[in-house]
Every structure is written in C-alpha cells, then in structure tokens.
C-alpha cells in the first residue's frame, strides 16, 4: 500500500492516477500514453507537459480555456 507520507512524486512505481489540477501541479495522470493523450493534444497553449512519463499541467502556461477538460475520456481534469 502506498504511504503518501513517503511519496516523493517520482512516478516510478506507475501507480499514480491522480487528478491533474493546475492548483496542485505536482499531481499526475498516467492513464493515456503521452503520444496520444487527448488532453495534451487538445491544449493549444502547450500547457500540458510530460513529466517523468506522466501528464501534468503547467499552471504558468494554462489560460483555463478548459479544452482539455472536455476531451478527457475519464473526465478527471478539474479546472
């Protein structure tokens, strides 16, 4: 079982499936392959990036258009 107190957000275990959220940019989604992740492809502002093989949202680039929210098949992006 994951001990979140010891987690360094390295993503190496591959168990992360947290909600990408611009207010908590250290959270990742590993559901889609970065090469064909709908959220990443939909972002015209290049605000969705791959970090350690996982999807994350760069809050400095995000303009809150929510295009990524509408294309996520799991509806897990909260902006």
> What is the binding site for ligand SF4 (CB under 6 A)?
20, 29, 31-32, 37-39, 42-43, 45, 47-48, 55, 57, 62-68, 72, 74, 76-77, 79
* Shortest CB 19 distance to ligand SF4, Å: 8
- Name which of 6 and 64 has its Cβ closer to ligand SF4: 64
- Name which of 15 and 45 has its Cβ closer to ligand SF4: 45
Cβ-count burial 54-63 (b if 16+ within 10 Å, e if not): bbbbeeeebe
* Shortest CB 11 distance to ligand SF4, Å: 13
The gap between the terminal CA atoms of the chain, to the nearest Å, is: 29
d(CA 33, CA 2): 23
- Whether the CB-CB separation of 34 and 18 falls below 8 Å is answered with no
* Shortest CB 14 distance to ligand SF4, Å: 14
């Amino acid at each position: 079982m994951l001990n979140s107190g010891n987690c360094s957000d390295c993503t190496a275990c591959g168990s992360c499936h947290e909600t990408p959220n611009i207010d908590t940019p250290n959270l990742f989604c590993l559901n889609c392959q970065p090469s064909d992740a709908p959220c990443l492809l939909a972002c015209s502002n290049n605000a969705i990036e791959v970090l350690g093989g996982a999807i994350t949202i760069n809050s400095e680039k995000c303009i809150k258009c929510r295009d990524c929210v509408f294309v996520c098949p799991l509806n897990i992006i909260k902006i």
